[in-house]
């Protein structure tokens, strides 16, 4: 009887094999160069404009654009910046004669950062310094699935590090090759060469630094204060949990350790950056257990890695006049902290 049940189970499982095989085939086809270029032609054109030294205004997500842009880069940069929107305004002029490439992403997390680094390595380039911005959980609002453009490089990174993702839906069966943002290939004008900002767009410079439309007409400190108070008292449970958590899960911690070991083995210097939080937001989040950087400082001290900046606005000598919102500081604050840390001039 047990053998009969086992046989029926095997037969049922076998029925799914053609479906899985079809998904793998479709995803493989979608990842081929000629097919992928059909999806990413606007991204290729935007990347070429950036490589040519032009600033663009784009309605394309940087999560989609920057991986394609890396493919078009012809020169190796001495410094690369990896992180989220909190460091996306870091400019190459700050680094003096050294070349800098800002690979930080709007709404990016640590998994995106290591995937972009893998993409950069695949082009045969190796930086001398990685400036790595971290948040306490290493994630972005519990986002677990990598962006389609980075998914293959994410899996390659995990394979190199010998780490298995707990997210079973992050593999090739998810049809990564077809999970692109429709605005890329349906929008008539997803980007254009311009310095003038447009609502809902981002301005991206040839060094990879960017601005977003919300900061083009900055609010007063009082307006930001009101917005911050309103925001922190209307958090949805998932966002609230994320902001009030100061420890990564085991997988994210393991990924960080693998990444730092990888950079050390390649002789690449690392500096970690912590960006301060608006005073009102920091007071609220920290009282709930958020933005505690103790584990980051302990980990980096053991590895001899410098930590620049702090989440604490008072320790960073930042006031409420220095912020766009609850977590984004003005570029002047970033420049000062990097200068104090000996990273820039």
Assign 106 to helix, strand or coil. coil
How far is CA 77 from each of CA 7, 80, 115, 126, 320, rounded to the nearest angstrom? 58, 7, 17, 8, 34
Q: Which backbone phi and psi does 42 adopt, to 5 degrees?
A: -60, -35
Q: What is the pLDDT of residues 190-218, one digit of tens each?
A: 889 998 888 888 999 999 999 988 777 67
The pLDDT of residue 177 is 52
* Strands in 233-336 per DSSP E: 269-274, 306-309
Burial degree of 99 (CB within 10 A; 0-12, 13-18, 19+): middle
Distance from C-alpha of 339 to C-alpha of 345, rounded to nearest angstrom: 6
* pLDDT score recorded for residue 253: 95
Question: Does position 39 have pLDDT exceeding 70, yes or no?
Answer: no
- The total number of residues shown for the chain amounts to 345
Q: Give me the pLDDT at residue 10, please.
A: 57
* pLDDT greater at residue 235 or residue 331: 331
Range list of β-strands (E), the chain: 56-58, 79-82, 100-102, 129-133, 191-193, 202-204, 210-212, 269-274, 306-309
pTM: 0.86
pLDDT for res 294 = 97
Nearest to 243 by CA among 272, 284, 280: 284
Q: Which of the listed ranges 144-153, 189-198, 218-227 does the model predict with the highest average pLDDT? A: 218-227
Sign of CA dihedral 315, 87, 341, 117: positive
Residue 266 pLDDT grade (very low, low, confident, very high; cuts 50, 70, 90): very high
């Amino acid at each position: 009887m047990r053998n009969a049940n086992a046989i029926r189970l095997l037969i049922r499982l076998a029925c799914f094999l053609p479906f899985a095989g079809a998904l793998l085939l479709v995803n493989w086809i979608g990842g081929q160069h000629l097919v992928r270029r059909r999806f990413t032609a606007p991204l290729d054109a935007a990347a070429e404009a950036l490589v040519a030294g032009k600033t663009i205004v784009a309605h394309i997500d940087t999560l989609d654009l920057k991986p394609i842009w890396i493919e078009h880069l012809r020169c190796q940069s001495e410094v690369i910046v990896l992180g989220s929107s909190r460091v996306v305004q870091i400019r190459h002029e700050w680094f003096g004669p050294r070349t800098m490439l800002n690979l930080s992403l709007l709404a990016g997390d640590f998994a995106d950062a290591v995937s972009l680094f893998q993409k950069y390595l695949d082009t045969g380039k190796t930086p001398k310094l990685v400036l790595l911005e971290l948040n306490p959980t290493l994630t972005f609002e519990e986002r677990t699935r990598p962006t389609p453009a980075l998914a293959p490089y994410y899996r390659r990174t995990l394979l190199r590090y010998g780490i298995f993702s707990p997210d079973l839906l992050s593999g090739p069966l998810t049809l990564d090759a077809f999970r692109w943002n429709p605005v890329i290939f349906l929008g008539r004008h997803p980007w254009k060469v311009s310095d003038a900002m447009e609502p809902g767009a981002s301005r991206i410079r040839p060094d990879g630094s960017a601005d977003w439309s919300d900061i083009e007409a900055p609010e007063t400190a009082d307006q930001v204060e009101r917005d911050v108070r309103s925001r922190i008292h209307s958090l949805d449970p998932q966002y609230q949990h994320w902001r009030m958590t100061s420890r990564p899960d085991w997988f994210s911690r393991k990924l960080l350790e693998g990444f730092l070991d990888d950079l050390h083995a390649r002789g690449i210097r690392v500096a970690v950056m912590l960006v301060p939080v608006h005073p009102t937001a920091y007071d609220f989040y920290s009282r709930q257990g958020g933005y505690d950087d103790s584990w980051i400082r302990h980990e980096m001290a053991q590895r001899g890695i410098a930590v620049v900046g702090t989440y604490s606005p008072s320790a960073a000598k930042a006031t409420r006049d220095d912020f766009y919102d609850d977590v984004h500081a003005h570029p002047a604050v970033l420049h000062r902290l990097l200068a104090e840390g000996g990273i820039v001039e």
